[in-house]
Structure 1
């Protein structure tokens, strides 16, 4: 069995016609790669290449099951991703409808040099920002091809995930399957608000160190302090698969 066949066999049961969709928001998959010590990026958010080639193939296949891919502005600034499904077989990437890039950027820091605005391979991004966004920045981004959508903020001053997901689910956006890829703040927000249906974590067999960015907690706090602040959901139907040197964990959220 080829790696592509193995990945399809592993993922496809979770995205069958029997998958139960939500009435008021997209079906949400949260996925990210981490080290053995739970780190997803280097000091200051510096990009880390954690996934091996085989698990990268899995991530790109996973993107084909989704209408949209969401990341935060930090990921755009630090990694400059294309957010496309490329590592497919037999030129399949040219035949599929690529997922829509969706960016959370409350202060419109999105760089005009980003691949999502300059590469012909990428769909133009939808950038969700605050209601009091800078009109001039919005105008420049829209002239560069982005669609900028102001949304409500929550009681903590962060972009309201509930408002965002409701907008995405309905016309004209019609996002029914959403893949959330990070970074850390977005991962924590979706987990704390219990807005995840499926969790897929790639675990790379490396240690990064205490100065790196953790997926779910503040490195400077004790375990008890983090547990008191971070009320995360429980997992069920947990399964594991080895791809190359990495372990993939997949689980439903209770």
Structure 2
């Protein structure tokens, strides 16, 4: 069955928009659009969380049975082929009489993949479209499937001479308002935010995302690493998402966070925590704010990260440079692929 290229591409773009309506968590965000043979939109759907109908089934539920027969399903992820809390989407599409399925990226799961092959074996026309764009929608979820842990972003602000604070420990503020506003947008874009107990005791941070004009911005879940007690009146205890404590075994804690649906972690602690993630090879992305100021003194942005000789230096790939008011944003990825 030949498709309608223009209608299918428009529908795939719409499906990506719908996918973002679903919650981030253990399951991927997926959107679907059902098209008539002449390219009209018959129904839309998205996955609303674990245990709810998948996007394809949600979209099919908007149609009368006769509308689904001969229709085209556009979906951002390959229809699943296994029974979990819900049945296999490949079977639901077959039962509905859908004649063509267009999806963006393959399902990486050992148990859930194979939906495209199942559909083709039953005579349904199957095609791929916008793979890179589809993967971008669920990039963090795909990272969790490959590694078993969340994608980790380590952030710090520093003076040009590599200091995170003045000699007396004061650090508010090294950067200007534009850089600090960007930090809050980064917080909101991550599922969880990490600090060490030292930061909680010294700065009593709120760890919320405060974005002008967006009172409903998504909030990251605070994760406090360390063994020292958190004061009963600490601001983190009043966070709208509560907080979680974690020990010193970073990899084990990351696996636990992934099992609970955390796909991305924003590490915003001080030099001790940032250095621990780098030394352990668990920092995937760095977000660094360079302020045009000099502080001198001992408060460097990093402690020991395991580099003993110049041959062991940690090479980075810079992916973004941007001026934020007087400050410079540097985004980079680590050379090693985790």
CA contact under 8 A between 2:157 and 2:290: conserved in structure 1? yes
Of residues 221, 228, 241 in structure 1, which corresponds to 2:308?
Answer: 228
Partner of 1:183: 270
Query: Aligned partners of 2:274, 2:220: CA distance in 1, in Å?
Result: 19
Q: Which residue of 2 aligns with 1:243?
A: 324
Q: Give the match for residue 235 of structure 2.
A: 115
> What are the equivalent positions in structure 2 for 1:1-254 lying under 5 Å apart?
16-17=136-137, 19=139, 20-22=142-144, 23-43=147-167, 45-86=169-210, 88-90=211-213, 92=214, 94-108=215-229, 110-117=230-237, 119=238, 122-129=240-247, 159-170=248-259, 173-211=260-298, 213-217=299-303, 227-228=307-308, 231=312, 233-254=314-335
SS in 1 for 2:272: helix
Contact 2:272 2:303 (C-alpha < 8 Å) held by counterparts: no
CA distance in 2, matches of 1:72, 1:239: 27
The TM-score with structure 1 as length reference comes to 0.70
Aligned mates of 1:125, 1:44 — CA distance in 2: 29
Does the CA-based 8 Å contact 1:191-1:233 persist in structure 2?
no
Structure 1 residue 18, shift from structure 2 partner? 5.7
- Confirm or deny: 8 A CA contact 1:84 1:98 kept in the other structure: yes
Shift of 1:232: 5.3
What SS does the corresponding residue of 2:308 show, helix, strand or coil? helix
Query: In the TM superposition, what whole-angstrom CA distance separates every residue of 1:139-197 from its partner, at most 9, and x where no partner exists?
Result: xxxxxxxxxxxxxxxxxxxx111111111110xx2210110012111111111111111
Q: Deviations over 1:16-59 (max 9, x none)?
A: 41635133110111111011111112336444311210001110
- Indicate the RMSD between aligned Cα atoms, in angstroms: 2.5
Higher relative contact order (CA 8 A, sep 6+): 1
Query: TM (normalized to structure 2)?
Result: 0.54
Counterpart contact for 1:82–1:122, Cα < 8 Å: no
Gaps of 5+ in 1: 1-12, 130-158, 219-225
In 2: Cα distance, 1:232 partner to 1:166 partner: 27
Answer yes or no: is the 8 Å Cα contact 1:47–1:79 preserved in 2: no
Structure 1 stretches of 4+ with a deviation exceeding 6 A read none
**Higher Cα radius of gyration:** 2
**Number of aligned residue pairs:** 197
